Amino acid sequence: MRFDVLTIFPKMIGFYCAESIIKRAIERGLIEVEVTNIRDFSQDRHLTVDDYPFGGGPGMVMKIEPLYNALSHVQSRQKHTVLLSPEGAVFNQAKAYELSQKKDGVVLICGRYEGVDERINGLVDEEISIGDFILTGGELPVLVIIDAVARLLPGVLGDVRSSQEESFSSGLLDYPHFTRPAEFMGERVPEVLMSGNHKEITKWRRRQSLMRTMIKRPDLIDEARLTEEDYKILEQLKEEV
Ligand code: 9D3
């Protein structure tokens, strides 16, 4: 899968993709990250990419022509085009999965300054935000999206199970994990995990997942895929608290 990133800070994208799992995915040819400097597509002598807002007001606005030219350069095939913007729909795992299915790849445009000329809307398929907080630009959000999408692609993670288990998972928080030593600063690993009784271990983990979700993220319970047994456990847990 190919990610085309349009930005005026190409190095910001490069450094993250040069390490760890994303680096390995690129080396194995599983993903391609092509960074295009929007400034290279500015037509004027000073290579400007921003200008004063019509109607006045603070800040600068990203010009539309360099963006249009850069887009034309990368959009040779029909490709899904995303503008990163604080006003976009908030990114989540479902959206990551949706983007991972775009076989022709995606074009990701990073905004900067106070915003992008409104006529960008005619050039993109959707706008995505990574949450309700203000950043200085779309570069970190693009990296967040590449990371979340790449790990869903076949072969990117070492263990195939890890990403599959999640995408088919119940929508609950994970159960707690332990490794050696069996005791650390007086805290012991739960006995059941060392019992070798896999049926009991599975039951315990499910119960822990339900309990943690109820306490840390009660908002997830409504959307979770729960069994009759799960609801019984939840009722039990509520009485215990
Ligand atoms: C003054 C109004 N601001 C919008 C709330 C203008 C503005 C501020 C910051 C426009 C762009 C930006 C830079 N942020 C992004 O480009 C961005 C972003 C973000 O700030 N938060 C969460 N997700 C994203 S995706 C792109």
pLDDT averaged over consecutive 10-residue blocks of the chain (241 residues)? 97 95 97 98 96 96 98 89 97 97 97 92 97 97 98 90 63 97 98 98 97 96 95 93 73
Whether residue 66 has its Cβ less than 6 Å from ligand 1: no
Distances in whole angstroms, Cα of residue 183 to Cα of each of 177, 179, 192, 205, 208: 14, 10, 14, 19, 20
Is residue 111 within 8 A of residue 9, CB to CB? The reply is no
Q: What domains can be seen in the chain, in order of their start residue? A: 2-150 (3.40.1280.10), 167-240 (1.10.1270.20)
Is residue 38 within 8 A of residue 4, CB to CB? The reply is no
Beta-bridged to residue 81, according to DSSP, are 107
Pocket test for ligand 1, best of 135, 139, 146 (most atoms within 8 A of CB): 135
Task: Look at residues 41, 50, 240, 21 and name the one whose alpha carbon lies nearest to residue 137.
Answer: 50
Global pTM reads 0.93
DSSP code at position 171: S
Is residue 13 within 8 A of residue 6, CB to CB? The reply is no
Distance from the alpha carbon of residue 209 to the mean position of ligand 1, in angstroms: 34
Phi and psi at residue 4, to the nearest 5°: -105, 120
pLDDT, residue 160, reads 66
Whether residue 137 has its Cβ less than 6 Å from ligand 1: yes
pLDDT, residue 162, reads 65
> Quick one: tokens of 45?
């002598």
